[in-house]
Each structure stands twice: as C-alpha cells, then as structure tokens.
Amino acid sequence: MIVIYKSFSALKTMMILYMYKILRSYSIELKSYQKFAKGFSLTMHGKKSKLELNKCSARANLLLRVENGKLHIGKHVTFNNNCSINCLNNIFIGDNVMFGENVLIYDHNHCFNKKNLLIREQGITLGNVSIGNNCWIGSNSVILMNVEIGDNVIIGAGSVVTKSVPSNCVAFGNPCKSNKIK
C-alpha cells in the first residue's frame, strides 16, 4: 500500500511516486509536472492498481484512492479544495476538466438487498466513471458509478449524477438532469 499525506513540491511528489513505483511495483505513470497543495493524499492498494497523471494541479486536501483499479487524470485538470476520488475499478477523467470544491467521485457502491445481513457484509458492486474533455464539475457535486459525462459538459453545483450526461450539456439537480447547450 502507498499512502502520502503531505504537501510537497512537484519535484518531491514525483520523486516519492517514482520511489513507490520502483519499490512496490505499483503502476504509476507521470506524464509531466504535477502541482499539489497542502493535504494531498494518495492511497494505492493491490497489484492491479494503476494511476496515470498528466499535468494536473490541486488546491488543498485532494484525496486519491486506488484499490485494484485504474485512475486516469488527463492534461490540465484542476481540482479545487477537498475533492475525493475513490477508484476500485475504472475512472477516466479527460483533458481540461475543472472541479469545484468538495466534489466526490465513486466507481463502486455497497450491496444492500439482503435484509438479514449487515450492509458492510454484503460486498460491493463495481462500475466505471468517465468524464470527457473540457468539463466543469460544480462544487459539492457527487458522481456515482456507471456514469459517462461527455465533452463540454457543465455539472451544476450540488448535483448528484446517477445517469450519463451527453456532450454539450448543462446538467444539474438531484438527481441530475441534462439540458443541451444552444
């Protein structure tokens, strides 16, 4: 397992990630510089875990968790304060995506259909999340498993995204509903 809870310069962050890649055989691909502010946290667990970062930056308290999954973050992606990405299967974030504060992304969910078992004992279901290029995800939004967000999409603040959103849309609400950009 790899866990980082510090604020590092881009060079120091890259050196630490490469050290874990070499020592622990994690698949970590850094295509260019990364800029992370105070409170950056990365947790990787499992030999299937893969992380790809391409020129992204984050303000305070970005949490990335990859457990036997693949997390791809494209070029020029910006995370505002307190964003959290939890990847147990597959999350893809395209290029030039902006995240507002407190955005949460999950590619999995707990099973809960057996009344005689505790929820924590019922396991999880895995899915995928894909966010296209040139998107803006508003503050306090939640993106759940099996969602595909197309290119040029704006997700309004406070939205809960449970279904896919086509390209060139503004989507908002709980549950999130899409409106084409004219």
Complete DSSP assignment for 31-51: -S--EE-TTEEEEEESTT-EE
What is the number of domains present in the chain?
A: 1
Please count the other Cβ atoms lying within 10 Å of the Cβ belonging to residue 22.
Answer: 10
The whole domain housing 162 covers: 2-180
Residue 8: which CATH number? Answer: 2.160.10.10
Question: What is the reported pLDDT for 86?
Answer: 97
HSE (CB half, 13 Å, CA atoms) of 71?
25
Closest CA to 96 of 119, 78, 71: 78
Question: What is the reported pLDDT for 46?
Answer: 83
Question: What is the reported pLDDT for 179?
Answer: 83
72 is catalytic: no
The label of the residue with tokens 């308290």 reads 61
In the sheet that 70-73 helps form, which strands lie side by side, from edge to edge? Answer: 27-30, 50-53, 70-73, 90-93, 128-131, 147-149
pLDDT along the chain (182 residues), means of 10: 45 58 55 68 83 85 92 94 97 98 97 91 96 98 98 97 96 89 71
Please count the other Cβ atoms lying within 10 Å of the Cβ belonging to residue 19.
Answer: 12
Q: Of 45, 72, 76, 110, which residue is the catalytic one?
A: 110
